[in-house]
Amino acid sequence: MLNYAASRIVQTVIVLLVISFIAFLLVANIGDPLAALLSADATVNERMELVARLGLDQPIGTRFLHFLTNLLQGDFGLSYRTQDPVAKLIIERMPATVELAFVSLLITIAIGVPAGIYCGVNPNSLFGRFIMLISTAGITLPNFVVGLLLIAVFSVQLGLLPSFGRGDVVKLGFWSTGLLSVSGWRAIILPAATLSTFQVAFIIRMLRTQLMEVGMSEHIRFARARGLSEARIWYVYAIKNTLLPVITMLGLQLGNIIAFSVVTENVFAWPGLGSLFLQSIQAADIPVIAIYLIFVGLVFMVINLVVELLYPLIDARVLRRQS
């Protein structure tokens, strides 16, 4: 087990290094931040001064090395745009995104898992077919369309839920939470629902296929032959066999939501990491973009790691296979 964990961690660090280099190369190519920082009437001298101050005149290799040294010393640099420390910006914005991801995961589990099981157990029922039809829409509609549709219906037409923002937030140390106020919960419903449409549809389809497959397997037929009740067969024996891939998918999707909620956050003016990322791209705020990309890499790696470390708890055979 320890060996297993250690090898995974070493891999994670190597991948992160590669990601940070690629991130740096990418952002060095998106343009310079001078347009946003200098006034339209700035003289050439002022321009040159700023270029030198930001180190933009150094070769790319030197800049990366400098960036990496600072990174290892825990200095993530200052944003060109706001002149705030990048670490502070990311920590400030992270709670919004994590809460959004968390609520959308809850929705996914609360709706996707029961619906998926129902469709798997009763694949030919009318209701099961209806759910499958709806889930096709969930898979195919792009996120921003779902978001705008929800806004058009629930905010503009019905006036039930707010179309933007996070509502009132409560500070708990460095963490600002919107989950302790009514307006916060009202604000999170639409964006979380938007984010979860794809996940819900995906989980339903996956569970259905898995369950149908397991339903054909030997041990289920054997259980049925022994006269166990249908309920016991499905909900105790069959489901256990489908959980592994479902948990892997949910884990990876959580990473996806945290990392790429950019579109949904933009649509709902959700003050999370995605919005920060977009604002930074517009202003060519290289330090923030680079750190954000590395952060995203980190989130994926950590989630992956956690999921892989969870496997043995669900299916002891994984560990046995290792040894």
> Can you give the binding site for another protein, defined by CB under 8 A?
30-48, 50, 53-54, 77-78, 80-85, 148, 151-152, 155-156, 159, 162-166, 266-269, 271, 275-276, 278-279, 282-284
- Taking CA atoms, 267 is separated from 134, 152, 162, 182, in Å, by 23, 12, 12, 21
Asked if residue 236 lies in contact with residue 224, where contact means CB atoms within 8 angstroms, the answer is no
CA distance 275 to 84: 16
Sign of CA dihedral 78, 82, 83, 88: negative
Instruction: Please count the other Cβ atoms lying within 10 Å of the Cβ belonging to residue 136.
Output: 11
> Least distance (Å) from another protein to the CB of residue 148?
6
> Least distance (Å) from another protein to the CB of residue 254?
24
CA distance 273 to 30: 19
Buried b (16+ CB within 10 A) or exposed e, 279-303: bbbebbbbbbbbbbbbbbbbbbbeb
Q: Which is nearer to another protein, 33 or 184 (CB)?
A: 33
> Least distance (Å) from another protein to the CB of residue 20?
18
Q: Which is nearer to another protein, 116 or 184 (CB)?
A: 184
> Least distance (Å) from another protein to the CB of residue 184?
13
Q: Which is nearer to another protein, 38 or 71 (CB)?
A: 38
> Least distance (Å) from another protein to the CB of residue 262?
11
> Least distance (Å) from another protein to the CB of residue 182?
16
And the tokens for 39?
């006034």
Q: Which is nearer to another protein, 18 or 36 (CB)?
A: 36
DSSP state at residue 154 = I
- Taking CA atoms, 309 is separated from 15, 62, 65, 312, 316, in Å, by 18, 38, 34, 7, 11
Q: Which is nearer to another protein, 47 or 317 (CB)?
A: 47
And the tokens for 81?
């745009």
Q: Which is nearer to another protein, 162 or 215 (CB)?
A: 162
Instruction: Please count the other Cβ atoms lying within 10 Å of the Cβ belonging to residue 186.
Output: 14
> Least distance (Å) from another protein to the CB of residue 51?
10
Q: Which is nearer to another protein, 202 or 277 (CB)?
A: 277
> Least distance (Å) from another protein to the CB of residue 119?
34
Buried b (16+ CB within 10 A) or exposed e, 208-223: bbbbeebbeeeebeeb
Q: Which is nearer to another protein, 158 or 231 (CB)?
A: 158
